[in-house]
Structure 1
Amino acid sequence: MLKVENLTKMFGGLAAVHDVSVEFEARKINAIIGPNGAGKSTFFNLISGVHKPTSGRILIDGHDVSRMRCDRVARLGVGRTFQTTHLFEQATVLDNLIVGHRLRTRSGLWDVLINSKRLQQEERECREKARAALDFVGLAHLENRVVLDISQEERKRVAFALALATEPKLVLLDEPAAGVNPEETEGLAELIRKMPEHGLTVCLIEHKMDMIMGLADKIMVLNYGEKIAEGTPAEIKANPAVIEAYLGSDYDAAA
Structure 2
Amino acid sequence: MLEIQSLTKRFGGLTAVHDVSISFEKGKINAIIGPNGAGKTTFFNLISGAIRPTSGKILFDGNDVTGLRADQVAQLGVSRTFQTTTLFDRATVLDNLIVGHRLRTRSGLMDVILGSRRLKEEERLCREKAAEALDFVGLSHVTDRIAADISQEERKRVAFAMALCTEPKLLLLDEPAGGVNPEETVGLAQLIQKIVATGLTVCLIEHKMDMIMSLADKIMVLNYGEKIAEGTPAQIRANPVVIEAYLGSESEHAEA
> How far does the alpha carbon of each residue in 1:167-194 deviate from its partner, in whole angstroms, 9 at most, with x for none?
0000000000000000000000000011
**Counterpart for residue 26 of structure 1:** 26
In the alignment, does 2:52 pair up with 1:47? no
SS of 2:145's partner is coil
CA deviation after TM superposition for structure 1 residue 85, in Å: 0.4
Paired-residue identity, %? 75
| SS in structure 1 at match of 2:58 | strand
1:130-167 CA-to-partner distances (Å, cap 9, x unmatched) read 01111110001110000111100000000000000000
Residue 70 of structure 2 corresponds to residue 64 of structure 1? no
- Cα shift at 1:251: 3.5
Question: Hey, what does 1:136 align to over in structure 2?
Answer: 136
Deviation, 1:30, is 0.2
Partner of 1:155: 155
1:124-203, aligned counterparts within 5 Å?
124-203=124-203
Task: Find the aligned partners of 1:154 and 1:141 in 2 and give their Cα distance.
Answer: 11
Query: TM-score by structure 1 length?
Result: 0.98
| Counterparts of 1:89 and 1:162, CA distance in 2 | 14
Structure 1 residues 112-133: Cα deviation after superposition (integer angstroms, max 9, x where no partner) = 0000000011001101110111
AA in 1 matched with 2:228 = I
Does 1:4 pair with 2:4?
A: yes
Quote the residue 1:74 is aligned against.
74
Q: Please tell me the residue identity of whatever aligns with 1:63.
A: N
User: 1:244 is paired with a residue of what secondary structure?
Assistant: helix
Q: Which runs of 5+ in 1 are unaligned?
A: none
The residue correspondences of 1:108-119 to structure 2 (distance < 5 A) are 108-119=108-119
Report the residue type matching 1:125 in the other structure: L
- Counterpart Cα distance in 2 of 1:227 and 1:3: 14
Task: After TM superposition, give the deviation of residue 13 of structure 1 in Å.
Answer: 1.1
How many residue pairs are counted as aligned between the two chains? 254
Secondary structure, counterpart of 1:128 in structure 2 = helix
Q: Following the alignment from structure 2 to structure 1, what is the Cα–Cα distance between the partners of residues 124 and 57? A: 38
- Superimposed CA distance per residue, residues 38-59 of structure 1 (whole angstroms, 9 cap, x where no aligned partner): 0000000000000100000001
Give 3-state SS (helix, strand or coil) of 1:87's partner: coil
- TM-score norm. by structure 2 comes to 0.97
Pairing 1:120–2:120 present: yes
The structure 1 segments of at least 4 consecutive aligned residues displaced by more than 3 Å after TM superposition are: 249-252
Deviation at 1:249, TM superposition (A): 6.9
What's the CA shift string for 1:8-52, capped at 9, x where partnerless? Answer: 000001110000000000000000000000000000000000010
Distance apart, 1:250 and its partner CA: 7.3
Task: Say which SS state the counterpart of residue 222 (structure 1) adopts.
Answer: strand
State how 1:82-121 maps to structure 2 within 5 Å: 82-121=82-121
Partner Cα separation in structure 1 for residue 53 and residue 168 of structure 2: 22
Residue 228 of structure 1: aligned partner: 228
Q: CA RMSD in A?
A: 1.3
3-state SS in 2 of match to 1:75: helix
- What is the alpha-carbon distance in structure 2 between the residues aligned to residue 211 and residue 98 of structure 1? 30
Which secondary structure does the structure 2 equivalent of 1:96 belong to?
Answer: helix
